[in-house]
Amino acid sequence: MSSLPANLLPDNATIAPDGRLKIAGVDAIELADRFGTPLFVYDEDHVRARCREAREAFPDGVAYASKAFLCKSMARLAHEEGMLLDVASGGEMYVARQAGVPADRLVLHGNNKSLVELRYAMREGIHRVVVDSFDELDRIAGLARDEGLPAPKILLRITPGVEAHTHEFVQTGQDDSKFGFGVRVGHAKAAIERARALEAEGALRLVGLHAHVGSQVFEVGSFEKVIEVLTPIFAPLGLEELCIGGGLGVAYVEGETSGSIREWGAAIRRACEAQGLRARITAEPGRSIVAAAALTLYRIGTIKEIPGVRTYVSVNGGMSDNPRPVLYGSGYETFLARSADAERTRTIRLVGKHCESGDLLVREGKVPADIAVGDVISTPVTGAYGYSLGSNYNKVPRPAVVFVRDGQVREVVRRETWDDLLRLDL
């Protein structure tokens, strides 16, 4: 088995002559010793580079999909790099605002926005509300009429009937979806008419349409089909903006390749030109901004060999810090931080510490033959939907998160303590 593919490491990862991994000039094992494990380590300049690439690819406007990973430092970083922030709840909006991001740089998503969330967004003067249902249109109209809140600028989320080639749990553009107004069933047409009527009443301003086909989508053709479906609907309306959402896939394991954000943007522009579509084309990448920028460091606590069956390697994290393998069957690579370029000749199953047989991180991991208890083992490409999907299952405290840049490290999310687990108890 070969050594770990370099394309799965952050941009500024290097391997020292002794084989130890460094991220932006900082030794990974020293990070594990200093901040403990599990530990999320982000290459800050990697993230900034992807933000800039996204802005170049979508010059009409691009929002970072903060559900991929959000903390105050991440919100500030995206804002500093000129991106809007896509927030999918009142909580995400609150974090962004507490980080100093202006409300008019936020786009609110969600298929079931509450009155509290909509009231917050309208009072703050949010950039856009992406409306997902007729009930939501009614709630917005009620807040504008009964409470005199400013009419928000909205995009209608359209379900185009395009089934992206990805896991069924992260498909969102097919007809059978909890999201948006379906084209084929006539809901899109009815929503546009309803929004126009509310606009005439001064309750909102319809500025565009939005569509999102899913997450971890490798085939650009899925996005091109969205343009084909939406153009006949969008073009006659005279609206200013068409948002094609996010969902661009990234490589997680050896042998996978993915297109760049720049290539994605170029493909979208070609599709718009082919359809004769003239509008502001915006997007909302998340995974492609942060996924490959980070890796997770774990400490090996137990190695259990079952002759003729397999070898289990247990670490001090698991499904509480990365539930993606359990939710989607997601694959990851494994390597040792002390010998990052070593040949990986031994097959293991990397598992967590939780009281679930299904608590696995890597089903078929490859590591050097001399793996041992106490080693720092890493899974790369964990910058998206690891920390943000995490939990306190078995009352395991959430990990710390650090950003590294130019040989310097800063802790952006501290590790939870046992005392933190009792903060909400009465």
Active centre residues (catalytic)? 355
Distance (Å, whole) CA 82 – CA 240: 20
DSSP code for 32: H
Two tokens at 417?
């303590």
Whole-angstrom distance, CA of residue 41 vs CA of residue 293: 8
d(CA 3, CA 291): 21
Cα 213 from Cα 264, distance rounded (Å): 14
How far, rounded to the nearest angstrom, does the alpha carbon of residue 189 sit from its chain's CA centroid? 30
- φ/ψ of residue 229, rounded to 5: -70, -40
SS3 153: strand
**Cβ count near 198 (within 10 Å):** 21
- Prior bond to 59 cis, omega within 30? no
Interstrand relation of 241-243 and 205-210 (parallel, antiparallel or unpaired): parallel
CA 341 to chain centre: 28
Strands 106-108 and 84-87: parallel
Q: How far apart are CA 181 and CA 277, in angstroms?
A: 21
Taking the CA atoms of 199, 205, 206 and 210 in sequence, report the sign of the dihedral they define.
Answer: negative
DSSP, residue by residue, 359-372: -EEEEEEEE-TT--
Phi/psi at 20 (5° precision): -75, 140
Query: Which residue is listed with tokens 């964990």?
Result: 382
Radius of gyration from C-alpha coordinates of the chain: 23
Distance, CA of 42 to CA of 172 (rounded, Å): 28
- What burial letters (b/e) apply to 66-90, b meaning 16+ CB within 10 Å? bbbbbbbbbbebbbebebbbbbbbb
Residues 109, 112, 117, 119, Cα dihedral to 10°: 100
Q: Kind and range of the H or E element at 49?
A: helix 44-57
Contact 212, 172 (CB under 8 A): yes
